[in-house]
Structure 1
């Protein structure tokens, strides 16, 4: 008798748990495998938490995709992980296509299976080829989908998934003209984590320089290569480190995979140069394990000028902080989108562009010294950056997610 009651009690708990899973709001995020996809998803999740803070139960957040290097960051933001095989669409002949074509079909099966058990109220896609299987599965199950396009040139993934989306959001006005989405579209900007608008606002740039271990009266240049690092920017810094440090102090985000080798090279070059090594600091990825962007935003606030690739995420973070920038577009980016992003961005006067073919010590030093000698130009660039920023992008998207989730 006791065993029967215990079994019945156990079954009751399982039933209650299943009912909770059925009725709790569940939101699935999906995207490609870089920080340019993951960090905006985190920004939207932060906005959703704020909007649902008064709910009896927080919505469940899940990420469906590969991006294993970012799983710790996602988990620390309270986002569950459902792994889906990664595949890539290459519009050129490559042996990788032989492997990735079957992987794509495997990922579709995985997406259908995992969404069946999650059965979310809505899917928010940040693009990247890894998001296509999840979007297709969502459409099959009649789950609403919101697609966000980061760049000024719509990606192939967005062109495919926008056909099935309930809503499409854009970061750049040009992409709204190039992609004629059937769904209702909006120009939102790219979601940026809230720390870029709120943290350290009471501290002066001089205070931040001092905290970072630099002199407050010497220019501090921050080199950013995106979440994965940029080989040509890394090579430029290493090849010209002595020349750069004669004039500036340098902060350098190398990318996690390149950090150790670059640190060894820099130390080797500077070991016989007394009193200069302290002017250089290198980092793998300036985001720690929390994923909230606190360390990256602190470092960016301390810099006088930021040298960066022109991925959408970097541009909107620079704009959020109102920082003058020199942009080095990645020439091999799909559809040359980084170059188009950069030229859209400089329309407000927020940055200068140096094409990679012209990225030489002579050109770079000339442009930086000219900027540092012109306070009015620097202030104009700061104002242009602030004009470009979209501080409410994450909230606008989060509100639309909740609206569609309730309707569904």
Structure 2
């Protein structure tokens, strides 16, 4: 373990998936005596990272769109400003190594690191790489991946898996049931539509709630501002805008899970041995990365998949009955393990390697 004044800088943002996987690594390096800093741009990193008592720096970042928009013109200038600010910031901070988790803010920092000859380790969560990591790859020393099949051109790729938060691995089921207000009479079905919620999943659950609650106690994480007041007090049904403290406990209590198919969610559910029904974001609303993640999980035997176009309350119930019947088999599949120590080892190795040998 390297200590003695070493400094690792993290970058990533724009969504929870580009921030949360860094948190176990932040704890790892801080516990090992490293200085830890973080560069972001907006939500959610501005809320999540300072709460960890980590030095936080903000730079502008333009959105990397895959389609034409007049906003692209303005975002070119934001991106250039971000590269300029990141280059100056890194010259001042002089970290030993940078860990990039992707998102729009990552590319200016990675390019600034290359200009300052600071080594970079990146992590790609999805099976198919995102645009920020594809642009960053030529300037990165090592790209760690969650999926074995992920490739990034000529970049040096190392399959590691994904970091998992300790609180998820150490949840207490009784506390989770207590938080939801359920007894142990029926299986607990946990429904979560991503950090912002999902209208299409929320609608399917609520239209079928009377049928679902005949079979399950339903804990529904529906997203900020998406609680349906008409269903407050519905027996066997509890709505949450989000769950922060106690999330690991609720996961521990869950017998079945309905979820989007972001890479972090897929790996967390598989690591916990939770039989899951994945409803990936449609290709019309995304680049299709969640569809790829979900099909991979299905091939591994971790999950069943229901595409959004086929989702309604009747099909949801049918799929959940099928999932319940296969729950024991799904729990017995080989599950991924926490990759925090593995990725930390890669970061430490890159930080130790002289520039001429990288």
TM-score w.r.t. structure 1 length? 0.80
Q: After TM superposition, give the deviation of residue 395 of structure 1 in Å.
A: 0.9
Contact 1:305 1:323 in 2 (8 A): yes
Question: Secondary structure at the residue paired with 1:68?
Answer: coil
Q: After TM superposition, give the deviation of residue 320 of structure 1 in Å.
A: 1.9
2:352 equivalent to 1:406: yes
Q: Which residue of the partner structure matches residue 17 of structure 2?
A: 36
Considering fraction of residues, name the structure with more helix. Answer: 1
Task: State the Cα deviation string for residues 175-218 of structure 1 (Å, max 9, x = none).
Answer: 13xx23333x2111121112222x23xx4x45642453102021
Q: After TM superposition, give the deviation of residue 159 of structure 1 in Å.
A: 1.7
Name which of 64, 71, 78 aligns with 2:46.
71
Quick one: distance in 1 between partners of 2:267 and 2:6? 30
Contact 1:225 1:255 in 2 (8 A): yes
Quick one: distance in 2 between partners of 1:191 and 1:280? 32
Task: State the Cα deviation string for residues 46-77 of structure 1 (Å, max 9, x = none).
Answer: 23244x1xxxxx21111111133333321232
Q: Which residue of the partner structure matches residue 267 of structure 1?
A: 229
Q: Which residue of the partner structure matches residue 323 of structure 1?
A: 274
Contact 1:188 1:390 in 2 (8 A): no
Quick one: distance in 1 between partners of 2:340 and 2:42? 21
> Which sections of structure 1, spanning at least 5 residues, go unmatched?
1-22, 53-57, 289-294
Contact 2:13 2:43 in 1 (8 A): no
Contact 2:180 2:219 in 1 (8 A): no
Quick one: distance in 2 between partners of 1:284 and 1:211? 14
Q: Which runs of 4+ in 1 moved over 4 A?
A: none
Task: State the Cα deviation string for residues 140-191 of structure 1 (Å, max 9, x = none).
Answer: 0000000111110112222221111111111111213xx23333x2111121
Contact 2:145 2:160 in 1 (8 A): yes
Residue pairs, 1:5-154, within 5 angstroms: 24-50=5-31, 52=32, 58-154=33-129
Name which of 328, 336, 344 aligns with 1:379.
328
Quick one: distance in 2 between partners of 1:157 and 1:279? 43
Contact 1:191 1:394 in 2 (8 A): yes
2:309 equivalent to 1:360: no
Quick one: distance in 2 between partners of 1:227 and 1:401? 28
Quick one: distance in 2 between partners of 1:119 and 1:207? 44
Q: Which residue of the partner structure matches residue 342 of structure 2?
A: 396
Quick one: distance in 1 between partners of 2:18 and 2:189? 26
Q: Which residue of the partner structure matches residue 202 of structure 2?
A: 234
Q: Which residue of the partner structure matches residue 131 of structure 2?
A: 156
Cα distance change, pair 367–36 in 1 and its aligned pair in 2 (3 A): same
Quick one: distance in 2 between partners of 1:159 and 1:354? 29
Cα distance change, pair 207–356 in 1 and its aligned pair in 2 (3 A): same
Quick one: distance in 1 between partners of 2:309 and 2:258? 16
Q: Which residue of the partner structure matches residue 369 of structure 1?
A: 321
Question: Secondary structure at the residue paired with 1:152?
Answer: coil
Cα distance change, pair 320–47 in 1 and its aligned pair in 2 (3 A): farther
Quick one: distance in 2 between partners of 1:251 and 1:321? 18
The structure that has the greater radius of gyration is 1
Q: Which residue of the partner structure matches residue 184 of structure 2?
A: 216
Q: After TM superposition, give the deviation of residue 342 of structure 1 in Å.
A: 0.6
Q: After TM superposition, give the deviation of residue 402 of structure 1 in Å.
A: 1.9
Q: After TM superposition, give the deviation of residue 364 of structure 1 in Å.
A: 1.1
Quick one: distance in 1 between partners of 2:289 and 2:184? 36
TM-score w.r.t. structure 2 length? 0.91
Aligned positions, number: 350
Quick one: distance in 2 between partners of 1:314 and 1:181? 28
Task: State the Cα deviation string for residues 291-317 of structure 1 (Å, max 9, x = none).
Answer: xxxx22111111111100101010111
